[in-house]
Homo-oligomer: A and B are copies of this chain.
Amino acid sequence: MKKEMKLVEDYQKDLTLIGQANALLSWDEETYMPEKGVESRSEQTALLSGIAHDKVISNELFNALRKLRISKDLKGKEKLMVDKLYKDVVKARKVPKEFVKEFSKTVALAGPKWREARRKKDFKIFAPHLQKIVELSKKQIGYNRLPGHPYNSLLDDYEEGMTAEKLKPVFADLKKELVSLLKKIEGSEKYKKQKLVLMKKEFDGKILEGFVYDVCERMGLKKEFSRVDLTEHPFTTKIGVGDVRITTNYRENPMFAFLSTVHEAGHALYELGLPKKDEYNVLGDAPSLGIHESQSRFWENMIARGKPFWKYYYPRFKKNFKLSGDFDEWYKEVNFVHPDKIRVEADEVHYCLHIILRFEIELGLIEGSIKVKDLPKIWNSKMKELFGVVPKDDVEGCLQDVHWSMGSFGYFPTYAIGTIYSAQLYSQLIKEHPHIEEQIGKGKFDKIREWLNENVHKHGSYYLADDIIKKVCGEGLNPKVYVDYLNEKYGKIYGFD
């Protein structure tokens, strides 16, 4: 079996390296590529993706995996790796090559149309493309149908082991709790009088950039193996074992760049913390997007929207930006609850409602109970129901996210899953290290990074996401921990605890 194992390892290494080369092509497209480079770029990425796909579905790899799986010698790590890769390979082999091509082509056409629809504030431009994507997604489900709801096949691509059946009660519960918390917040005196004052000041771009670099450095994301560039939408990308890059964007609210950097840095630390010994096999990847998001949300919400964090940073912000407010005012503005129509700018309380809205719509589109053409209407009525506000146009409504144009149905729930996980992780961290907030208050995050590394990062894909959380916290996905955290925090801020 040595020969087969070597072959399987070589294949995984090639696939990893091609993926990294493709990651650089995408990173460059978003950061530095001259505009006329776009045509060649799409040909380059299509070719590399095609080469990778051919490798995944090759008979040589498939036969080696089959031989390995029936062999009795295979144990421990090797067995895990072979089983995991085999699952991916079988899945990929069930999708006809013609479908893969049609899907890529559809998505490649949909992207520019989504952007045009946004520019012209006209959903109709995007609608026929989204219609096609929905149809193809349904077709895709048929190739690898999982038990239960048809949505499960899509969700499993991003969150292995998760199902609509498991998520529905979790989200229903969460929705109820969030709506109830929002009622309390909105009914408070403080809410009625609230307004942003400090955040409306002019924040010097250079100084803000300095803080962006400072917080990366303190979190342990060093320049030797990372960098921060500017893109329209912030993201994290792994270009190599010692090369994980993040991007940021400076918007009207100064917190956007700072907190989104902390968020992306959380993703990046995870990528850098994955097991080095598995850098070129499937066990060296994150097991799901949800757990990936738990890392970014952990740093963004649990750390960088927290009191201890600002104990350290606010005096420095105050001095450098010449702010005249006191700590409590600042802390309240960082955690300003208001029904923002844009998901990526949402506060902690509203954030998961954005996700639940999308989850319900995705289920409807896949079940056929929601028609693409009715999307703006349905979106707006759900916004009205959950947020009490209606988008002024589809750009701040159903055209705001890129995911659907990329054909990524089943992706959104991972944001809420990660958010819930992040609260569970923080609660466990506090139990194990009751004095950790003193460290945070000094701007020292090494212990936290090490704890996350030890408890999450280093496991790679040796376990499913929910099993990692179980190992650390004693239980899997549990929205109650998140709801308790929100109730306690916002009860104090809005004065009804």
**Segment at the interface with B among A77-85, A95-103, A196-204, A239-247:** A239-247
Contact of A40 among B38, B39, B239 (CB under 8 A): B239
CB of A361, distance to nearest CB on chain B (Å): 37
**Segment at the interface with B among A41-49, A180-188, A434-442, A452-460:** A41-49
For A136, list chain B residues within 8 Å (CB). Answer: none
For A319, list chain B residues within 8 Å (CB). Answer: none
Whether A28 is near chain B, meaning CB under 8 Å from some CB there, is yes
Contact of A240 among B37, B47, B224 (CB under 8 A): B37
Whether A432 is near chain B, meaning CB under 8 Å from some CB there, is no
Whether A35 is near chain B, meaning CB under 8 Å from some CB there, is yes
A interface SS class: helix
Q: Are A32 and B227 in contact (CB under 8 A)?
A: yes
Q: Are A25 and B21 in contact (CB under 8 A)?
A: yes
Whether A74 is near chain B, meaning CB under 8 Å from some CB there, is no
Whether A179 is near chain B, meaning CB under 8 Å from some CB there, is no
Docked CA distance A241–B158 (Å): 35
For A43, list chain B residues within 8 Å (CB). Answer: 13, 17
Whether A34 is near chain B, meaning CB under 8 Å from some CB there, is yes
Decide: A242 near B47, CB < 8 A? Known: A21-B25, A25-B21, A25-B24.
no
Contact of A239 among B18, B37, B51, B225 (CB under 8 A): B37
Docked CA distance A43–B16 (Å): 10
Q: Are A34 and B241 in contact (CB under 8 A)?
A: no
CB nearest neighbor in B for A229: B32
For A40, list chain B residues within 8 Å (CB). Answer: 17, 20, 239-243
Q: Are A242 and B34 in contact (CB under 8 A)?
A: yes
For A209, list chain B residues within 8 Å (CB). Answer: none
CB of A246, distance to nearest CB on chain B (Å): 11
CB of A313, distance to nearest CB on chain B (Å): 25
Whether A33 is near chain B, meaning CB under 8 Å from some CB there, is yes
Contact of A48 among B21, B33, B36, B240 (CB under 8 A): B21
CB nearest neighbor in B for A41: B240
Q: Are B241 and A39 in contact (CB under 8 A)?
A: yes
Docked CA distance A39–B279 (Å): 12
In the complex, per-residue mask of A227-243: 1 if CB is within 8 Å of any chain B CB, else 0: 10100000000011111
Whether A14 is near chain B, meaning CB under 8 Å from some CB there, is yes
Whether A301 is near chain B, meaning CB under 8 Å from some CB there, is no
Whether A226 is near chain B, meaning CB under 8 Å from some CB there, is yes
In the complex, per-residue mask of A255-285: 1 if CB is within 8 Å of any chain B CB, else 0: 0000000000000000000000000000000
Closest 9 pairs between A and B when the two form their complex, measured CB to CB: A40-B240, A36-B242, A37-B243, A36-B225, A37-B240, A17-B47, A36-B224, A40-B241, A21-B44
Question: Apart from A36-B224, A39-B242, what are 10 other A-B pairs with CB-CB below 8 Å?
Answer: A14-B47, A36-B225, A36-B241, A37-B225, A37-B239, A37-B240, A39-B241, A40-B242, A40-B243, A51-B51
